[in-house]
Amino acid sequence: MAKQIERIKPKLKIPYAPTGERKGHYEVNMLEEKIVRDYTGYDFDRLNNLSVFEFWALLRDAIVYNCKQTEEGRKYLNDCWLHDQTEPDRGALLKYFGKH
Amino acid sequence: MFDISALNKRYFEIKLTAVDDDGKEKSLKLEVEPPKIKVLKRLFSIVKKATEISKISKEKQKNNSDGSTEDIDQNVVNANIEIFNVLLEAVQKILSKNKSHTKVSTEYLEDLDLDQLIEIVNAYFDWLNKSKESNPN
């Protein structure tokens, strides 16, 4: 029997948390492509031929990987995770305030 | 090793209908694949162009408020035709990349009006956005 390829649905959403930093007067047009290029080693031509979901998956991985390299980046990722939470952490609340 | 080909593909499902010469209604179901980065950029520029044409047309209407209503009407018609052609190009691009490699004949597209084209483009971008957000960190 042929071995079935395991299909995965990667996460695509890029971690984000507001930092309050000013963007400055100039923006890089192809910043996302550069981040993925540096992470994968793909050239721009190859990146342009990726499907958007493949590109977004790589971009997310590249950003998470880059952030994990520094203390500041790890703090930012933690802020992103907190920013995404919509439910209260009942366990922590119970521990902090007690059962009553 | 991370294998990019192992990514699970997601499809945008769309049903198109057309009436043939005998008056019979026929439909075509498509599973549209996500675009490549270069196609997405092209789609953005097409939609941007359509928005600009619409904006210019509205400004012209405002400026020509003293002019005859016939001129204004003609300007609106011309702008709408231009927007229609631009969006038709976008929709053709979107639909041409489908799972079954079906070539979408013009009979399915020529009956669409401007509102339907806008709806297709909006639904497609909504699908892309929802797919991106549906599997959060």
* Chain A interface, Cβ < 8 Å to B: 5-13, 15, 33, 47-58, 60-61, 80-81, 84
Q: Minimal Cα–Cα distance from B42 to chain A, Å?
A: 11
**Contact flag B36-A5 (C-beta cutoff 8 Å):** no
pTM above 0.90, yes or no: no
Q: What sign does the dihedral A54-A60-A63-A66 (CA atoms) show?
A: negative
> Would you say residue A2 has pLDDT above 60?
no
* Cβ contact B135–A13 (<8 Å): yes
Q: Tell me: the pLDDT tens digits for B69-114?
A: 666 667 777 777 888 888 888 888 889 889 888 888 777 888 888 8
| Chain A residue at shortest CA distance from B125 | A52
Q: Please give the C-alpha separations between residue A70 and each of A21, A52, A63, A75, B35, in angstroms, as whole numbers.
A: 18, 28, 12, 9, 34
Question: B7 by DSSP, 3-state: which?
Answer: strand
Of B36, B128, B137, the CB nearest to A11: B137
Percent of chain B scored above 90 by pLDDT? 12
Q: Which tens digit of pLDDT belongs to each residue from A23-67? A: 788 888 889 999 999 999 999 999 999 999 999 999 999 999 999
Model pLDDT, residue A43: 94
The minimal CB distance from B36 to the residues A48, A61, A80 is found for: A48
